[in-house]
Amino acid sequence: MRSRVKLASLILFVAASLPAATFTYHLAGDDAGPWPQILSSIGLTPASGGPSNLFIVRTVAPGSAPQWIQRIEQGGIAVLEGDSELAAALGFKPTNQRVVIRSIVDKRAPKLPIVWESAADTPVFEVPKDARIFASERWEGAPVMAAVRRGSGAALWIATAPGKEGYERFPYLLQALTDLGVRPPLRSERLWAFFDGAYRSRVDLDYFASRWRAAGIGALHVAGWHYYEQNPENDAYLRRLIEACHRRGILVYVWLELPHVSEQFWTDHPEWREKTALLQDAQLDWRKLMNLTNRECFGAVATGVKDLIQRFDWDGVNLAELYFESLEGAANPARFTPMNAEVRDEFRRAQGVDPLELFRSGKADPAKLAAFLGYRAGLARRQQEEWIGQIESIRASKPDLDFVLTHVDDRFDTRMRELIGADAARVLPLLDQHDFTFLIEDPATIWNLGPQRYPKIASQYAPLTTHTGKLAIDINIVERYQDVYPTKQQTGTELFQLVHLAAKAFPRVALYFENSILPPDLPLLASAAASVDKLEQNGSRLVVESRDGVGVPWQGPALVNGRPWPVRSDDTLWLPAGSVVVEQAQKESPLRILDFNGNLRSANASATGLEFSYQSNARALALVNSRPFNIEIDGAPAQQKPSESGSNFLLILPRGQHIVTLELAGSGLLGQSSGK
């Protein structure tokens, strides 16, 4: 890496068709430190002598401060660490007073405890009078992150380096950069998020749906146990939620947490309650577990689940965490399940011993306990297969339903099989016979590990199945019980690194859960979820390679691979997977797709309408700017008509792979598709 940046070669770039966006950064200094990890988490890449307006100034050549200030005044954004000639020239000067920084307060989240694992002894800095202070040391109030504007540019100053991984000290460093004008170059709208209506019972659903979509959320997985029994008020709320999400291009899945069914089901059927190894009713944490091994209980729940799925306009089903408690395993009999009569009888017939006896003696026989734990893992797999069959039977009448199986990871933490009966190697072969997404949840035991665990998890699952395109990852955004720094819950740069590396490693990323994402993180979440293999810009021309498709900042008509491209909102051009070249076009498409929730394959615009092809595991939602007069799917007239969504129109399209033709009133046939 070059140790100095030639200022004369740093040309600020503004393209007529590109909104103000930051695609690259320049680093001044021999040691990049954690900045590549920090900036790549929202899609920024290092520039190699080309244009950029973002500079990470770690080392300053003597006497070069005036040139740097000139560059800032001309529109550059510079990041400075600690004491330097440039920092002093901008007004950030060390005093004789010192402070030991162990905890800071960030004005974005002043109530959030931010604690540094390694304290830093630094001077107390004097800052310019016009500086905007973003964060301060908790006890002495010394500024630790601040910014000044000079001319049309700005400088962000931090009191010390950001830490080895880039998130140990200043969680909201990237948010501060966006305040100064840094705009990430990419967006994705493929995130899934879990949703519990108990946390959003009295909110404006249209407002929240717009906020979720802006944050890159493409599907909500809604807690189905609140709606298991019919209730006019609850049902009306859920229907409004689904309608609001659909209007904003968000799919809605029913999220099941069997063997928890519902509060009412638990109350009404004490005879079917699961038992722990102390023969107590298995009410563990928030889940109240039912005995699905009992055939009467299973039949009643199956009937109720079928009614729940058929009662609402769901786009998919998520069968989540269908195995046994608890993370302490057999070491805690008060939480260990299943110990219902049917399980005990079945194991006794097979092994000649009541498994309850394993917990009544002073010390369980290791061989017999191992046999029961193996039986338990097999039972979990049998129940999963049985419920997959139940969902498949429901799909016979609702063929557009997507299906997801959420399963805790037991490859990274191999204790999961013994602790809860989770055994991915037994379940993944079911992908050979059934169509579903296998959503891997990282267990609480590894929440303290860093973002690099997601590529490692992906590498451990790849040998287990040929259906790697059906794998997905679930990130738990919650307070962690381990000693973690700088925050108990993932936020800011740590969260963005988690999401970004997960999105590079897996085709789909889910977040648990919608309500736990902190407000400062929402504006950059869609950028963190975007992943490309290549991104180059030269003036108004872009070259993009991506696995799943991506959104890039753009204004006005565009050509993609030389053809008019009609998939664009006012500020974002939505591109298909693969390699594409984007250039400015001369004519606007009269009919445009403003937002699309499927996997776009190709698109072509003409003076009379447009044609596009797509693939989707669930229904696909397309938001268009004008009402189409004629809609054809695979050459046949579509049955469903577009519905109004504000000033635009929503199309709900079938699951699978399809070609869609849209024509405006009075138009003729469209031109040929620019298929890839």
In this predicted model, what pLDDT tens digit does every residue of 617-627 receive, in sequence order?
A: 999 999 999 99
Q: Please enumerate in sequence order all residues whose Cβ is within 8 A of that of 6, keeping only pairs 6 or more positions apart, or say none.
A: none
The tens digit of pLDDT for each residue in 535-570 reads: 988 877 899 999 999 999 999 999 999 999 999 999
Residue 64: what pLDDT? 95
Q: How far apart are the first and last CA of the chain?
A: 38
Bridge partners, residue 132, by sequence: 147
* Single pTM value for the model: 0.94
Structure token pair of residue 174: 């990237």
Contact 598, 653 (CB under 8 A): yes
Q: Which distant-in-sequence residues (6+ apart) come within 8 Å of 29 by Cβ? A: 3, 56, 57, 58, 59
- pLDDT, residue 16, reads 38
Q: What is the pLDDT of residue 21?
A: 81
pLDDT for the residue numbered 672: 40
Distance, CA of 289 to CA of 284 (rounded, Å) = 8
Instruction: Report, as ranges of residue numbers, the positions in the chain whose pLDDT lies below 50.
Output: 1-16, 668-676
Residue 1 burial (CB count, 10 A): 8
The top-level CATH class assigned to 7-179 is alpha beta
Q: Which CATH architecture has domain 191-528?
A: Alpha-Beta Barrel (3.20)
Q: What is the DSSP letter of 567?
A: B
Domain range summary for the chain, segments of one domain joined by +? 7-179, 191-528, 534-663
Q: How far is the C-alpha of 564 from the C-alpha of 570, rounded, in Å?
A: 16
Q: Is 202 exposed, middle or buried (0-12, 13-18, 19+ CB in 10 A)?
A: exposed
The C-alpha atoms of residue 371 and residue 159 are separated, in whole angstroms, by 58
